[in-house]
Amino acid sequence: MKSCPTVPEELNRRLRELAPRIVLASQSPNRLLLLKDAGIDVTARPQVVDESYPSQDPDSVVSHISRIKLNSYMASNDFEEDTVAICCDTMVLFENRLLGKPHSRAEAYSMLSLFSGRKQKVLSGYSLYIPGRGAVSGTDESAVYFERLSEREIQDYLDTGDYIGAAGSYRIQRSGYRIVERIEGSWTNVVGLPFERIIEELSK
């Protein structure tokens, strides 16, 4: 029986060392939980921004949205210039189409039916404010291979409600791992917060 992946403790430890306190300029409960589970003293400062995007280049889209969230935070009264801040945006790239969060159960069913037995890419754009360096941005990419799913398996997954508010209609860190065969690349990137890339940036 499959078990849900977890963040390696070495990654958690390294992030704690580099940034024991972080402002998460996002309303994502999944990203907040990842940071709390890593032992980070985290403060959430959700930003409401226009998430429409001018470019169709996938990497540019997720990077652009993460950057406007960070810019919004840095221009706010909540901005803390001595504390690391993180913003991210995550989308699924499938058959050259960017897919975000489903608007209904029917749309989620359609997405998961398309993914069945196939590969997709998960793209995360990240923007960091690093005291003394300013703002930096980048992207990460992981490949996700889905199991072949029957209609019953899809409906059972949708019954969990985990598709609500999730890019691509699934959450790998909850019951979504059951419908995924394997991941190539960062697991935390699929969750929506690429620890490895963030640690690289903070280490420079």
pLDDT values of the chain reduced to their tens digit, one per residue, 204 residues: 566 667 889 999 999 999 999 999 988 888 998 999 999 999 999 988 877 766 667 878 888 889 999 999 999 999 999 999 999 988 889 988 888 889 999 999 999 999 999 999 999 999 999 999 999 999 999 999 999 999 999 999 999 998 998 888 988 887 788 899 999 999 999 988 999 999 999 999
* 84/64 Cα distance (integer angstroms): 19
Q: At what angle do helices 105-115 and 151-159 cross, to 10 degrees?
A: 140
**Which residues are catalytically annotated?**
89
The whole-model pTM stands at: 0.87
Spans of all domains in the chain: 9-203
**What CA–CA distance (Å, rounded) separates 82 from 111?**
42
Q: How far apart are CA 15 and CA 12, in angstroms?
A: 5
Fold of 9-203: Maf protein (3.90.950)
